[in-house]
């Protein structure tokens, strides 16, 4: 009787057994890596806008405060996008013929709002509130990065639930004093641990409730 | 309380899970169900819900925008308070001056400069220079004047009524007064220097 299995069958069996272990592992690891990669989270990807507004120029070089345009940030859930009128407060007098600003002038002339493209888009089941963060020691750059150094706006952080929880579980590591909230170049001091604990008490943050589902979801 | 009878298992589910000629059918079907559950969880439909969020699109409304123009003649619920806040100057104290300074440094410094001399960075970049608060005319001007200019604009300055709350306008006016007093101190020093 002829051999049922060729000499190579043994190799295939071994490879097959190896694949049984290696394949699921590779898939799990690569899947995990994919969901954390900027390819999936969009971190660092510049979003094209109808007008190439530069935060680096306005907030960085000119030093205009975030709240000059985002007027609602201390009062409402949404920080607020400036109406065309805000752009024209300065651009009615300077760079009045700039080609780049033609859509702004058209917007004012025709009373049509500019359609900016959203850069930070949270899932609809998340109820994020800007005011509660900026009035409780969380600065702009903790989530938005050093905006004053961004020519075009890009996401600086993944804004995933795990990322949010990382801070909600231990906010002290990111808290800053009132005077530094709008400083986008703020860096943690060496003794952030100690200062953070003091700030936790200063702002009256109740850490034990920060991870309740209803804090972010309804 | 929800009665169990209110929610009988779906007939399809029962049919799927019960019986079968092939011995493994039951296990295979449960596996298939689990796979379906996995697929559904991968859909993440709730990320985009059919609801309106600030600045989202809404085809039903003008310009496909969720934000709608306020109908002519609408009166905001807090309008009387706002009008009252605009008419009545608040008591000037340290808290009001602090508020005034914070608001001034957000909205006014780009043109008027930190010290109120009309030399802000936007002026450096070509915006027509505003007058210095140290001018005799503005030193003599009542606080109402500054509140009025913030509310209605002046010359090439746009109205800041949409950006600065009524009480904050008084706070800024009070801070401008403080800048003027500080400026006067500087001037007196300068005079002393000149007299030497």
Determine, for residues A113 and B67 on separate chains, whether the beta-carbon distance falls below 8 Å: yes
Same domain for B188 and B106: yes
Indicate whether B177 belongs to any domain: yes
Question: Which CATH number do you get for residue B175?
Answer: 1.10.760.10
Domain of B18 in residue numbering reads as 10-37
Indicate whether B121 belongs to any domain: yes
Q: What are the pLDDT digits (tens) for B29-38?
A: 777 877 776 6
Determine, for residues B107 and A123 on separate chains, whether the beta-carbon distance falls below 8 Å: no
Residue B17: the pLDDT is 54
d(C-alpha A170, C-alpha A209), whole Å: 12
Indicate whether B154 belongs to any domain: yes
Determine, for residues B156 and A124 on separate chains, whether the beta-carbon distance falls below 8 Å: no
d(C-alpha A74, C-alpha B4), whole Å: 48
Provide the pLDDT confidence category of residue B6 given band limits of 50, 70 and 90.
Answer: very low
Indicate whether B78 belongs to any domain: no
Determine, for residues A62 and B122 on separate chains, whether the beta-carbon distance falls below 8 Å: yes
Residue B45: the pLDDT is 76
H helices of chain B, in order, are 11-17, 25-43, 79-87, 94-107, 109-112, 121-124, 136-140, 143-152, 166-195
Indicate whether B61 belongs to any domain: no
Residues of B in Cβ contact (< 8 Å) with A88: 158
CB B171 within 8 A of CB B99: yes
B20: left (phi over 0), alpha (psi -120 to 50) or beta: left
Same domain for B187 and B91: yes
Say which residue, B196 or A196, is predicted with more confidence: A196
Same domain for B187 and B103: yes
Nearest-Cα distance to chain A for B186, in Å, is 26
Residue range B159-164: average pLDDT?
96
d(C-alpha B183, C-alpha A125), whole Å: 53
Indicate whether B119 belongs to any domain: yes
Determine, for residues A78 and B63 on separate chains, whether the beta-carbon distance falls below 8 Å: no
Indicate whether B16 belongs to any domain: yes
Indicate whether B162 belongs to any domain: yes
Does this complex have an ipTM over 0.90?
no
Residue range B132-157: average pLDDT?
96
For residue B176, give both structure tokens.
Answer: 């401008």
Nearest-Cα distance to chain B for A7, in Å, is 34
Q: How far is CA A173 from the centre of its chain?
A: 18
Residue range A70-79: average pLDDT?
95
When CB atoms are compared, the residue of A65, A81, A124 closest to B106 is: A65
Same domain for B29 and B121: no
Same domain for B22 and B97: no
Same domain for B190 and B100: yes
Provide the pLDDT confidence category of residue B40 given band limits of 50, 70 and 90.
Answer: low
Identify which of B163, B192, B148 has the alpha carbon closest to the alpha carbon of residue A80: B163
When CB atoms are compared, the residue of A64, A65, A124 closest to B51 is: A124
Q: For chain B, what is the domain count?
A: 2
Same domain for B16 and B106: no
Q: What are the pLDDT digits (tens) for B168-195?
A: 999 999 999 999 999 876 554 444 433 3
């Amino acid at each position: 009787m002829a051999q049922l299995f060729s000499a190579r069958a043994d190799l295939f069996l071994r490879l097959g057994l190896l694949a049984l272990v290696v394949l699921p592992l590779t898939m799990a690891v690569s899947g995990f890596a994919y969901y954390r990669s900027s390819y999936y989270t969009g971190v660092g990807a510049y979003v094209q806008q109808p007008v190439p507004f530069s935060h680096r120029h306005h907030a960085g070089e000119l030093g205009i405060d975030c709240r000059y345009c985002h007027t609602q940030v201390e009062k409402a859930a949404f920080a607020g996008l400036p109406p065309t009128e805000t752009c024209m407060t300065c651009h009615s007098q300077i760079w009045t013929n700039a080609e780049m600003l033609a859509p702004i002038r058209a917007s004012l002339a025709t009373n049509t709002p500019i359609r900016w493209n959203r850069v930070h888009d949270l899932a609809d089941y998340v109820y994020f509130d800007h005011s509660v963060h900026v009035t409780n020691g969380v600065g702009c750059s903790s989530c938005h990065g050093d905006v004053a150094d961004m020519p075009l706006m890009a996401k600086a952080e993944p804004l995933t639930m795990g990322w949010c929880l990382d801070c909600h579980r231990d906010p002290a590591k990111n808290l800053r004093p009132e005077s530094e909230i709008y400083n986008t170049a703020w860096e943690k001091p060496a003794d952030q641990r100690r200062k953070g604990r003091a700030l936790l008490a200063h702002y009256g943050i109740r850490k034990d409730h920060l991870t309740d589902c209803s804090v972010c979801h309804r | 309380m929800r009665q169990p009878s209110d929610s009988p298992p779906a007939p399809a589910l029962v049919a799927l899970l019960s019986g079968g000629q092939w011995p493994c059918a039951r296990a295979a079907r449960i596996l298939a169900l689990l796979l379906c559950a996995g697929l559904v969880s991968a859909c993440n439909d709730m990320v985009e819900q059919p609801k309106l969020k600030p600045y989202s699109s809404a085809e039903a409304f003008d310009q496909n925008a969720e934000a709608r123009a306020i109908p002519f003649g609408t009166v905001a619920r807090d309008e009387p308070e706002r009008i009252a806040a605009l008419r009545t100057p608040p008591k000037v104290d340290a808290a009001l001056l602090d508020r005034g300074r914070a608001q001034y440094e957000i909205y006014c410094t780009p043109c008027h400069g930190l010290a109120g001399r009309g030399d802000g960075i936007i002026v450096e970049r070509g915006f027509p220079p505003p007058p210095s608060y140290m001018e005799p005319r503005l030193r003599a001007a009542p606080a109402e004047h500054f509140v009025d200019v913030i509310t209605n604009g002046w010359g090439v300055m746009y109205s800041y009524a949409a950006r600065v709350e009524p009480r904050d306008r008084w706070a800024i006016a009070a801070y401008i007064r403080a800048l003027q007093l500080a400026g006067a101190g500087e001037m007196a020093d300068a005079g002393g220097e000149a007299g030497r």
